[in-house]
Amino acid sequence: MSAALEHFTVRARLRPTRPKRDLAGGRRDPFWESARDEAISELRINQRHINGVPHFTTAEDRDRVHELAIVKWNSRWEGFEDKRNQPVQSHQISRPVPNKVTPALSPPFILNQIPPDPRPTEDDLRPYLTGSSGVPELDRFNAETEWREARIKQDKDAFLVPFVSWIKPAIDYDAYLRTSLWKGIKGEVLDKAGGKCACCPRRATEVHHRDYRPRVLAGEDLSSLVPVCRTCHDLIEEERDKTWERGEASLAKLVEIENQRLTEDESCASSPVNSS
């Protein structure tokens, strides 16, 4: 590496895998590189292209560019998808864009409080700390697993069940999403929301699970199911892949912003028009 490039050792991050984009069978995203280059220019970050990839002098510069590039990338794709979904309009008939929901006024979406998982006390775990592997952390993990299974036998809805492998009895979640039971639950949630995404003005086409308790999977409790569009769902899931809490925080923020927009729209609609 030449002396002019020796300080540019931090390689740019890869394009996000979520939200999933329709690349028409290709691997190259038409919007990512331009969004990243625009972010570099806007932030005035010093960088060099090495083998066609931007390199930075610090990880902080790389991360600042990446965060802004994601915002611009999502904006480009959302504009493109809105145009792609817009039907051909005649001169005589004006039709709404099918990807938008345009009721007179949509009510704000209220996120319910999810009951927290019970936590074992030392007294709870004592009966299960019977073996010794020589690794205290492993012994405690095994004890917590046995305690959890005992609690599930007492109350199948005791736990949020954030990991499918914990569900007792174990289920194939992908297969569950193909059942008529889930299709009926999904349809009911979308109908109740009037087909609107809880996180933005777009049409809801999917339903986000905040709770995987058996009563929720059986359709007995719909309060923790959220109607969402594909873009918002992917954004939420991307954060939840990092931690469960980040997914919840992302959802809450999106809903808060959308509810604020709805409130402002309602205020404007109810304000009298001054005539002069």
Question: For the whole model, what pTM was predicted?
Answer: 0.59
Round to whole Å and give the CA distance between 218 and 129.
34
Band of pLDDT at residue 83, cut at 50, 70 and 90: low
pLDDT tens digits for range 121-179: 999 999 988 877 778 888 888 888 889 889 888 888 888 875 555 555 567 778 888 89
Using CA atoms, how far residue 98 sits from 138, 207, 208, 270, in Å, is 53, 18, 21, 26
Q: Quick one: DSSP state of residue 127?
A: G
| Complete DSSP assignment for 2-18 | -TTTTT--EEPPPPPS-
The residue ranking higher by pLDDT, 134 or 187, is 187
